Amino acid sequence: MSEKVLSIRDGLKETEAGMTIMNHLNLEVDSGDFITILGGNGAGKSTLFNSISGNLTLTSGEVSLNGTTVTHLKEEERAKFIGRVFQDPKQGTAPRMTVAENLLLASKRNKKRKFAIRRLKENKEKYTELCKTIGNGLEKHLDTPAGHLSGGQRQVLSLLMATLEKPDLLLLDEHTAALDPKTAHQLMELTNDLIQENQLTCLMITHRMEDALKYGNRLIVLENGQIKKDIPENEKYKLTMEDLLSFFS
Ligand SMILES: Nc1ncnc2c1ncn2[C@@H]1O[C@H](COP(=O)(O)OP(=O)(O)OP(=O)(O)O)[C@@H](O)[C@H]1O
């Protein structure tokens, strides 16, 4: 039996205004799963991610990571296990810190946050090589503040930061949505390569149907804070665009 990286059991979230935004949701994610998540606006996709990352506390129910209950752990504690890339290129990187400094910061996940210039120099060569493999010129910007990068470069940096220290779980929250089609495609291919090479477990929210079809081994459709469809690998590869559109009522 494969190891469960994430379990949500009977997750319920009611807002102060009495609205149910996660409705008794159950989800089990196996190690190595790459799950694409679809759902209309307001379906509860970000709520799902926020409840996993600890940005939002469930009204009731349980969240476990690698078999350990994290329901009452703070976001900073859970961040040791989770890498997250957001839709907005401005989130996830420190704008005034250089690319190399951001990467060094990301390498400190799970470790004591001691930041030394010496460590920066030691790692620069490694970061240059890492960035060179991407092919978008990021290696020429190691000393550039992240805030000066283009949106596409900044999302690549965010992705590298989220995966530099292999996370137990990678959460991609429409991370290509703000990019032009070509850059979005390149970032999506890079994402898939990183996931396959490092055998990452990943949940990816997307509104791009073609990406939901092409990538991942499982597909989930959310509606009204619940999982409406959960399609395993042996059915996912047969799906067509028409099938996907029919899931949206
Ligand atoms: N902290 C909160 N307090 C109150 N309501 C919230 C909160 N977070 C989300 N909601 C509400 O929960 C519902 C689901 O929102 P959520 O952001 O999870 O949807 P989504 O599927 O990510 O949508 P989109 O595709 O538009 O990003 C929405 O009606 C939203 O207004």
Q: What is residue 148's DSSP assignment?
A: G
Q: Is the pTM of this model over 0.90?
A: yes
Atom index in ligand 1 nearest the CA of residue 44 equals: 18
CA angle 108, 184, 194 (to 5 degrees): 40
> Which mutation among 12, 47, 84, 173 tests ligand 1's pocket best, with the greatest number of atoms within 8 A of CB?
47
Identify whether the C-beta of residue 163 lies closer than 8 Å to the C-beta of residue 170: yes
Q: How many angstroms is it from 159 CA to the middle of ligand 1?
A: 24
> Which mutation among 15, 203, 208, 222 tests ligand 1's pocket best, with the greatest number of atoms within 8 A of CB?
15
Q: Which domains does the chain have, with CATH numbers?
A: 4-81+167-247 (3.40.50.300), 98-165 (no CATH)
Q: How many angstroms is it from 40 CA to the middle of ligand 1?
A: 11
List the pLDDT tens digit at each of the 249 positions of the chain: 557 999 999 999 999 999 999 999 999 999 999 999 999 999 999 999 999 999 999 999 999 999 999 999 999 999 989 999 999 988 889 999 999 999 998 887 766 555 566 777 778 888 888 888 877 888 899 999 999 998 889 999 999 999 999 999 999 999 999 888 888 998 999 999 999 999 999 999 999 999 999 999 999 999 999 999 999 999 999 999 999 999 886
Three-state SS for 39? Answer: strand
Model ipTM over 0.90: yes
